[in-house]
Structure 1
Amino acid sequence: MTSEKLEIVQTEYQAGRVAFESGLYAQAIQSLETATGLVDRTSRLGGEVQMWLVTAYEASGDTERAIELCRKLTHHPRQETRQQAKRLLFILEAPKLSIPDEWTVKIPDLAALDENKSISFQANPNADIKYAKPKPVVEEPVDLSQVNTKGNQFVWVALMAIFLTLAGLAWLS
């Protein structure tokens, strides 16, 4: 591969990656397909470009093309590319789970709005917002006539048990 051709491949590959990461999947596919057409598909760089192309196909909703290319990459000469393709193919062919509507959040499409228009996200713009003040915590005074001040003899029983234990150990030794 000539250095000019390699430079074009690198430029298109980088442009495809940047477009993909920006969410411009159609542009990413176009750049990555151009790079794929110019690069040796069996090389390391060729495998990388094609793996990015698989993810761009999937992101754009063209799952069939993504699976088809991914199956071809499972036979790539480089072991790393083959393993990556097998993992990705497993994910692509996995059954799609259905998610109940109550588990999802609907995000409004703001792309159609003018840049000059502002959006109010308040439910009712005319409603007065009232904040509840927290009530201070007031502790009730303790009635000392209700408190049990009589000892329950526990301390004396514990002291006696300790004394007997020590006396028993002294006698046995």
Structure 2
Amino acid sequence: MDSKLEQFQLKYQEGQALLDRGQYRSSVKTLEEAKSLVNPSSKLGGEVQLSLVTAYQGINKLEDAIALCQELTAHPNLAIRQQSQRILYILKAPQLKRPEEWMTKIPTTTNTEDNPTPRYIQAKPVTKPLEKPSLNLEDTTQMDTKDNGFIGLALGLFVVIIGGLIWLS
């Protein structure tokens, strides 16, 4: 493996790891370095650019994400083209407005490069867990032990099928 490809692999893996941890600004920087080390028209070049689209979204650069995704819809690799078309459809979808009462503000203790503002998450109503009636396995009075005739029906059907197979042969 040549050194340029090794450098690409390291930068790409590092960029993906940063992206997975939510460190979007660092991820953009690292993925752009990886992109410069590989042919953008190759499959690997397309994959790193798709990751860049996600990282751009993470730092609220939606216009950059859409522009890059539109470029990728003309990529030579079919799988990259198809994936970028799916992502582009999602990026261009109208944003739904969420009522403020659905949101809970979670303050951050520090503002970092990758987390400049507090984030909001959807609040879920607090509910009591449903109490399930327990079935005591020692107490057979709670079990329905009445014969429903299933065994007889299954056995009869089995005999008919076997008899039919013998008759056909």
- Fold match, TM over 0.5? yes
Structure 2 counterparts to residues 1-173 of structure 1, below 5 A: 3-111=2-110
Offset at 1:22?
Answer: 1.1
Identify which of structures 1 and 2 has the higher relative contact order when contacts are C-alpha pairs closer than 8 Å and 6+ apart.
2
Distance (whole Å) between structure 2 residues aligned to residue 70 and residue 84 of structure 1? 9
1:108 Cα shift? 2.3
Which stretch has the larger CA shift, 39-48 or 103-112?
103-112
Cα deviation, 1:127-151, whole Å, max 9, x if unaligned, reads xxxxxxxxxxxxxxxxxxxxxxxxx
- How far is 1:89 from its partner? 0.3
Instruction: State the shift of 1:107 in Å.
Output: 1.4
Superposition TM-score, scaled by structure 1 size: 0.62
Deviations 1:61-96, CA, capped at 9 Å, x for gaps: 100100000000000011100010000000111111
Unaligned runs of 5+ in 1: 113-173
Deviating beyond 4 angstroms after TM superposition, the runs of 4 or more aligned structure 1 residues are: none
* Distance in 1 of aligned mates of 2:29 and 2:22: 13
2:167 maps to none
Give 5+ residue unaligned stretches, structure 2: 112-169
2:79 aligned counterpart, secondary structure: helix
Q: Distance in 2 between matches of 1:111 and 1:37?
A: 33
1:28-49 CA distance string (max 9 Å, x none): 0011001111101111111110
Inter-partner Cα distance in structure 2 for 1:20 and 1:6: 21
Take 1:59 and 1:24, find their aligned partners in 2: how far apart are those partners?
8
Distance in 2 separating the partners of 1:50 and 1:108: 32
1:151 match: none
Which structure has the greater CA radius of gyration?
Answer: 1
Aligned length: 111
Q: Which residue of 2 aligns with 1:116?
A: none
SS of structure 1 residue aligned to 2:40? coil
Cα offset, 1:111, TM superposition? 3.0
